[in-house]
């Protein structure tokens, strides 16, 4: 069903102005003469919040009256970014606010810069969750996001002497105008303790968990405004607090500090986001975080369900679907079983029947180090009853496996939730597959590999359960809001409703060869490049030429994403220019943004190396008319919004088979950047959409990667065969880039030669370098490039997150839209 386009919110400029001033006076206790930009930001948010709250009220009333089935998106991460600009856009009030603030002598763009990013996520899956809840609200679907109200989100990255330094993120130090505390919905969560086995009157065995610790979960609602401003769903984030508040006895006995200990322990749960994206941390606190938000959220769902249906569980599966964003919330499966069996006293089969119709699970990675496994001993200590339930689930599942593969112990060992070994481990991926009715990967290739390599026997056991839903991005944030100049140009050509129907961008294709349109399109790109150049100047202190190719690689720093492949190539260009000052290349600025997990040494070494190479090149007058390197610190959503519109080239160069999907690839192409990439993740689908002429594909395919590895990959062969590879790797060992510190960059060379080059950087180097020469050639042909850029934008319709959500709704969630109307 098409979402409703016309706007519901009508507030004019003078009303908006009055609301802002009123909040300046009455909410903030200041006035127009004294207010700084931060105060103006808060007052503008509060003015918006009036509209937002009304939207939430109407939405919740409508959903309640219609007794709607809803999706509950469980995610340990939501990488929301800033909200003011997005909310203004989605309510259709951006221009109204701009004009209103202008009349007050204030610049909206300055005010927008005051907002700290809500960085409650690491990267891919967290930002995906944020795009999905935007689409859900836009498509008027009953939905709620559930997560953790981290006091500190992803660390702030500083670069000192080239190295990454982590600083705490404090997104709500000065208050956050969007969040609404809901003390009426506080929940209590149990931890630790022991399980008592009892016999009920009818001889039924009953289990009672006697917890050792109880914490409170306080819900904070963040509004999620759909485009058009009709449906305003919420993201409900749980903050942990001690349930006992304060130990007065200890305090009175003189233990001033000890009296606080319980509070501090309880509050630690939601204190900080774990900064790892593709490695499981295996820490007790992490498991507690996961259980904490799942338990609070399930109680919240059940409270709402019972308000409408009392103790009748028969309709639960009609009303509730829960999407598990990766395995982080997988503990919700045994928790729901515990509630149904121990609390509601349903028998096991009935409870399992409900459970396996409620949960669906999305896998986001195949990297073995990212697949969560918890020591059974840890689970036993923190959640003793849950471990029992997991054993029971597994016991029954093993019987099912035995029916399909009688007597095959090897298959049982592979499929078991419990991994036997020195230490018994609970495999959360297996639990998620067994406890869910649908399992999806996030791009065609990834989903195929999930079936073939990760869970092959599960696919044989339950054909059809494993499926694909290709990721998407919200075009509201990732084009309409972040690239206003291009949006306006597009409006003129295809009409203004493309943010709701992204396929309409195909209407641009017919102008791809039109010289006037090409000029206009590239003029917008040039303006955006100027804005980014100003950002680079402010942040890094040097100028970049906006006629150069802006070559952008923005994503987490990980060996499989191969930022070091790009680095080797940059060093090679530098070397070519030094050897031959007339070396023919179009000027290029390589621009990076990336955070490394604080404990990931090699990733941090790569950041250091990029910065050190950048320092040298940027200060070398012999080459810096043609080559510059900019590593912009603290990559985050709001910085991405500035980098993406300015990119000419999008680097998507992961080892084939390793990047599940990628979503930066979609954002960059949507904004007219041309991809240089491997046949990995969603790059493949992007290539299908834009066609071979409008993308630069290079490198080994998944099958070739496997063959090469099977035949015994020898990175030294490439080192000895290719003099350029040898030269740049040897260069890393000198003190050329790190004067006085020879060997400071040597770990990269070691990883590629002595440690086996796990991600085949050297094997793909030559193909990458050749593909970059093709990029250079194509860019010099202005018309050809403009055409490619336009076609990239035109062909991104498939990658709207509305399409992903439609896939989930139709094939997995079976949800109906519930329009919210005036009144
Ligand atoms: O599905 C969203 C996103 C993908 O686009 C990326 O390819 C993938 O790397 C990322 N994974 C994560 C961390 N995974 N775990 N666990 O964010 O998911």
CATH of domain 475-805: 3.40.50.2000
Binding site membership of 121 for ligand 1 (Cβ less than 6 Å): no
d(Cα 613, Cα 616) in Å, to the nearest integer? Answer: 5
d(Cα 279, Cα 371) in Å, to the nearest integer? Answer: 8
- Asked if 233 and 136 count as a contact pair (C-beta separation under 8 A), the reply is yes
- Asked if 719 and 762 count as a contact pair (C-beta separation under 8 A), the reply is yes
Binding site membership of 124 for ligand 1 (Cβ less than 6 Å): yes
pLDDT for 203 equals: 80
| Residues in the chain, total | 823
The two tokens of residue 97 are 């606010």
The DSSP code sequence of 406-422 is TT-HHHHHHH-SEEPSS
**Ligand 1 atom 6: residue of nearest CA:** 662
Query: Tens digits of per-residue pLDDT, 356-386?
Result: 999 999 999 999 888 999 999 999 999 999 9
Contacts of residue 323, Cβ cutoff 8 Å, sequence gap at least 6? 71, 72, 73, 74, 359, 360, 361, 362, 808, 812, 813
C-beta atoms surrounding 310 within 10 Å = 8
Backbone angles phi, psi at 253, to 5 degrees: -85, 10
C-beta atoms surrounding 6 within 10 Å = 8
In testing the pocket of ligand 1, which one of 77, 121, 124, 678 has its CB within 8 Å of the most ligand atoms? 124
Binding site membership of 326 for ligand 1 (Cβ less than 6 Å): yes
pLDDT for 10 equals: 77
Query: Which one of 42, 63, 338, 364 is the catalytic residue?
Result: 364
Does residue 667 carry a catalytic annotation?
A: yes
In testing the pocket of ligand 1, which one of 368, 445, 655, 661 has its CB within 8 Å of the most ligand atoms? 661
d(Cα 111, Cα 130) in Å, to the nearest integer? Answer: 23
How many angstroms does the Cα of residue 160 sit away from the middle of ligand 1? 28
Domains 67-82+117-375 and 475-805 share a fold: yes
Query: Tens digits of per-residue pLDDT, 43-68?
Result: 999 999 999 999 999 999 999 999 99
pLDDT for 202 equals: 77
Query: Which one of 230, 299, 304, 555 is the catalytic residue?
Result: 555
**What is the pairing mode between strands 143-148 and 232-242?**
parallel
Terminal CA-CA length for the chain? 23
Break the chain into its structural domains and give their ranges. Answer: 1-54+91-116, 67-82+117-375, 444-469, 475-805
How many angstroms does the Cα of residue 365 sit away from the middle of ligand 1? 6
How many angstroms does the Cα of residue 125 sit away from the middle of ligand 1? 5
How many angstroms does the Cα of residue 802 sit away from the middle of ligand 1? 19
d(Cα 607, Cα 395) in Å, to the nearest integer? Answer: 47
How many angstroms does the Cα of residue 296 sit away from the middle of ligand 1? 25
Sign of CA dihedral 467, 470, 471, 473: negative
Half-sphere exposure of 434 (CA within 13 A, CB side): 26
Query: Which one of 328, 477, 525, 561 is the catalytic residue?
Result: 561
**Ligand 1 atom 10: residue of nearest CA:** 124
Binding site membership of 661 for ligand 1 (Cβ less than 6 Å): yes
pLDDT for 455 equals: 87
The two tokens of residue 546 are 């906006």
CATH of domain 67-82+117-375: 3.40.50.2000
Does residue 72 carry a catalytic annotation?
A: no
Q: Which residues of the chain have pLDDT under 70?
A: 1-9, 245-248, 250-251, 256, 258-259, 822-823
**Rg value, the chain, Cα:** 27
Binding site membership of 329 for ligand 1 (Cβ less than 6 Å): no
Please state the atom number of ligand 1 nearest to the C-alpha of residue 372. 16
- Asked if 505 and 490 count as a contact pair (C-beta separation under 8 A), the reply is yes
Does residue 537 carry a catalytic annotation?
A: no
Please state the atom number of ligand 1 nearest to the C-alpha of residue 362. 1
CA distances from 640 to 86, 257, 553, 691 (A): 14, 43, 11, 26
How many angstroms does the Cα of residue 207 sit away from the middle of ligand 1? 38
Contacts of residue 778, Cβ cutoff 8 Å, sequence gap at least 6? 674, 696, 784, 785, 788
Please state the atom number of ligand 1 nearest to the C-alpha of residue 122. 17
Beta-bridge partners for 484: none
SS3 state at 568: helix
How many angstroms does the Cα of residue 463 sit away from the middle of ligand 1? 25
How many angstroms does the Cα of residue 786 sit away from the middle of ligand 1? 31
Binding site membership of 681 for ligand 1 (Cβ less than 6 Å): yes
Does residue 364 carry a catalytic annotation?
A: yes
pLDDT for 479 equals: 98
Instruction: Determine whether 21 is exposed, middle or buried from the number of CB atoms within 10 Å of its CB (0-12, 13-18, 19+).
Output: middle
Beta-bridge partners for 221: 180, 236
């Amino acid at each position: 069903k098409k979402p409703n386009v016309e706007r519901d919110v009508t507030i004019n400029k003078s009303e908006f102005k009055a609301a802002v001033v009123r909040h300046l006076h009455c909410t903030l206790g200041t006035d127009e003469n004294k207010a700084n930009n931060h105060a103006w930001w808060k007052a503008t948010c509060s003015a918006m919040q009036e509209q937002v709250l009304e939207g939430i009220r109407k939405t919740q009333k409508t959903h309640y009256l219609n007794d709607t089935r809803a999706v509950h998106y469980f995610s340990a991460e939501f990488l929301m970014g800033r909200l003011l600009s997005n909310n203004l856009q989605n309510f259709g009030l951006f221009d109204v606010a701009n004009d209103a603030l202008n009349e007050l002598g204030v610049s909206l763009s300055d005010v927008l810069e005051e907002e700290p990013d809500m960085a409650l996520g690491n990267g891919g899956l967290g930002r995906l969750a944020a795009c999905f809840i935007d689409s859900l609200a836009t498509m008027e679907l009953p939905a709620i996001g559930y997560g953790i109200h981290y006091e500190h989100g992803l660390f702030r990255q500083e670069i000192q002497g080239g190295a990454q330094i982590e600083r705490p993120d404090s997104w709500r130090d000065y208050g956050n105008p969007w969040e609404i505390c809901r003390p009426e919905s506080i929940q209590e969560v149990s931890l630790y303790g022991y399980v008592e086995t009892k016999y009920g009157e009818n001889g039924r065995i009953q289990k009672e968990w006697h917890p050792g610790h109880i914490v409170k979960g306080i819900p904070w609602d963040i509004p999620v405004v759909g485009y058009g401003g009709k449906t305003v769903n919420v993201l409900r984030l749980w903050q942990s607090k001690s349930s006992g508040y304060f130990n007065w006895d200890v305090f009175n006995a003189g233990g001033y500090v000890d009296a606080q200990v319980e509070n501090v322990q309880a509050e630690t749960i939601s204190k900080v986001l774990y900064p790892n994206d593709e490695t499981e941390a295996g820490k007790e606190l992490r498991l507690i975080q996961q259980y904490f938000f799942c338990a609070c959220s399930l109680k919240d769902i059940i409270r709402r369900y019972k308000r409408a249906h009392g103790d009748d569980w028969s309709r639960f599966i009609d009303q509730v679907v829960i999407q598990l964003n990766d395995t982080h919330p997988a503990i919700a499966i045994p928790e729901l079983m515990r509630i149904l069996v121990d609390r509601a006293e349903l028998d096991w089969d009935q409870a399992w029947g409900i459970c396996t119709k409620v949960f669906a699970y999305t896998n986001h990675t195949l990297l073995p180090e990212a697949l969560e496994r918890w020591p059974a001993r840890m689970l036993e200590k923190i959640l003793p009853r849950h471990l029992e339930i997991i054993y029971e689930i597994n016991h029954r599942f093993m019987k099912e496996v035995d029916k399909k593969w009688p007597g095959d112990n090897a298959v049982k060992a592979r499929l078991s939730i419990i991994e036997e070994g020195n230490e018994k481990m609970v495999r959360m991926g297996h639990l998620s597959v067994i406890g869910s009715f649908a399992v999806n990967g996030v791009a065609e290739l990834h989903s195929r590999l999930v079936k073939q390599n990760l869970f092959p026997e599960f696919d044989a056991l339950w054909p059809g359960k494993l499926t694909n839903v290709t990721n998407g991005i919200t075009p509201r944030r990732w084009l309409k809001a972040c690239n206003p100049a291009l949006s306006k140009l597009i409006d003129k050509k295809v009409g203004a409703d493309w943010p709701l129907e992204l396929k309409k961008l195909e209407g641009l294709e017919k102008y791809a060869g039109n010289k006037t349109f090409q000029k206009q399109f590239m003029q917008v790109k040039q303006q955006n490049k100027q804005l980014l150049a100003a950002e680079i100047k402010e942040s890094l202190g040097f100028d970049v030429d906006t006629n150069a190719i802006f070559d952008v690689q923005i994503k987490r720093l990980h060996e499989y994403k191969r930022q070091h492949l790009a680095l080797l190539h940059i060093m090679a260009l530098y070397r070519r220019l030094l050897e031959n000052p007339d070396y023919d290349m179009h000027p290029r600025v390589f621009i990076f943004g990336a955070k490394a997990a604080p404990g990931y040494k090699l990733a941090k070494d790569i950041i250091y190396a990029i910065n050190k190479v950048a320092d040298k090149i940027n200060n070398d007058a012999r080459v810096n008319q043609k080559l510059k390197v900019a590593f912009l610190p603290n990559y985050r959503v709001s910085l991405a919004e500035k980098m993406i519109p300015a990119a000419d080239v999008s680097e998507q160069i992961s080892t084939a088979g390793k990047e599940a999907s990628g979503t930066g690839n979609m954002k960059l192409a949507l904004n007219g950047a041309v991809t240089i990439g491997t046949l990995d993740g969603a790059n493949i689908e992007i290539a299908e959409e834009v066609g071979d002429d409008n993308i630069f594909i290079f490198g080994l395919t998944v099958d070739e990667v496997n063959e090469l590895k099977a035949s015994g990959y020898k990175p030294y062969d490439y080192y000895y065969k290719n003099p350029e590879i040898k030269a740049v790797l040897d260069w890393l060992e000198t003190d050329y880039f790190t004067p006085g510190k020879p060997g400071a960059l040597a770990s990269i060379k070691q990883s590629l030669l002595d440690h086996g080059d796990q991600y085949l950087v050297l094997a793909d180097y030559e193909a990458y370098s050749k593909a970059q020469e093709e990029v250079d050639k194509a860019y010099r042909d202005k018309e050809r490039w403009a055409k490619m850029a336009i076609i990239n934008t035109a062909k991104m319709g498939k990658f709207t997150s509305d399409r992903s959500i439609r896939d989930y709704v139709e094939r997995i969630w079976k949800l109906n839209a519930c329009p919210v109307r005036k009144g």
